[in-house]
Amino acid sequence: MDDEVFQGFISTINSTTEKMKNGTATPADFLENAKAIMNLTDDPDNQQFLNNFGHSVIDATKGIQSIDDACKMEAELQQSWYEWRERLLKSKLSEIALHPENDTLYNQYIHYKPTVFHFLFTYQTLIFGPNADPHVKEIVGTMGKDDLSAYRNSFTDKVIDPYPSEEQESNECSVGVNIFNAARSVFEENKNGNTDFVLAIGTATRARLIRAYLLIKGAIPKEEDDNKNDPNIVISRLMSLAEVIDYELSANMYPNGKALSLYPTEDYRKTLYNELLKIYQRIKKLDPNYTSPPMPNMYVTNNQSSGCYVATAVYGSYDCPQVWTLRRYRDYTLAETWYGRAFIRTYYAVSPTLVKWFGQTDWFKAMWKPKLDRMVQRLNADGIADTPYQDKQW
């Protein structure tokens, strides 16, 4: 808050206090005092501020002589409430943007979003609700409930919200992206090392990724409203959310060198995977020329007893029809005999090193792809399916 504005609110409160002492405070003074109290509040849960605000509103309503007076007071307080809410939420979001790793700031912001309505509900109930002064109840009671609601709206509809929902959503999405980038950076720098340390980093990263996810997702309009919104904005936010989900499904940590998925829970991974598919489908509807990137693995593969290293390198994914076929062959044919299991163990003792050295080279893929293609075709012809598959434990 600008220092001059801050001092102005302090001056208003001091002036009203002095007038109260000598008995010269008017309802108009109390109205200004109520607005000053609200605007000086940094914590919507502060009961003392809320009580002082309520007392000032009650004293201000003593000046109400007509329904118009009541409606004008509500509109004036609502304008002040809008401005206070804008300042508070923007301030908290700015703090989070500067310190995206600070979990306390995020928790405060999420908590403040609903609690800012405490002041709104207070003045509304003190003017038009059950807590209003008896003389105010008598005045507003002369108009029917539906007519009064419409008449109140004719005043409050003219109040300008300086922080419309679109701007708030845009700011929240930007902060969500900042939190994601910060969380990813810290995780990538610390995903290797002592087991306890790495697992603690993983826990903190999951919490921050969820926060980034919630902020970004909250900024995305409903799909049924896509025809009413700027498609570029919607696509941009969808792609930001997709980046978070893709990372959640792809990220691995290495406590004492052992690969472990950041999100190993199968049901949660399925939920994320399906949501990512829907995001790409929605983007495609908004932009028919859009080509989605390869999907990450739905199932955890890094902590299984084995993985199809060469086939994954050749086909570019652990989850594709060709590799699904080969994984089924491994689990339901080779793994059923002792010599098949011996072959699997030998293969997985050698192939990770080969893939690490040569897996990204064109000659390696060109050498293996024809052989694997023929093998997959033969296995499919023998009845082994090429549909999505979850590895069998053996």
CA 211 – CA 215 distance, rounded (Å): 6
Residue written as token pair 């002064």: 133
CA 272 – CA 391 distance, rounded (Å): 19
CA 14 – CA 204 distance, rounded (Å): 46
* Per-residue pLDDT reduced to its tens digit, 281-321: 999 999 999 998 888 877 765 444 446 778 888 887 776 89
Helix axes 266-286, 231-250, angle to 10 degrees: 150
CA 333 – CA 235 distance, rounded (Å): 45
**Whole-model pTM?**
0.64
Low-confidence ranges of the chain (pLDDT < 70): 1, 256-258, 300-307, 319, 392-394
Q: Of 173, 68, 57, which is closest to residue 121 (Cα–Cα)?
A: 57
DSSP 169-184: HHHHHHHHHHHHHHHH
Backbone angles phi, psi at 211, to 5 degrees: -65, -45
CA 94 – CA 67 distance, rounded (Å): 40
Q: Could you tell me the sign of the dihedral formed by the alpha carbons of 140, 141, 147, 148, in that order?
A: positive
User: Could you give the angle at the alpha carbon of 352 between the alpha carbons of 350 and 354, nearest 5°?
Assistant: 70
Q: What is the pLDDT of residue 257?
A: 64
Q: What is the pLDDT of residue 192?
A: 81
Q: Are residues 324 and 388 in contact, defined by beta-carbon separation less than 8 angstroms?
A: yes
Q: Are residues 252 and 260 in contact, defined by beta-carbon separation less than 8 angstroms?
A: yes
Q: What element of type H or E holds 351?
A: helix 338-358
Q: What is the pLDDT of residue 1?
A: 63
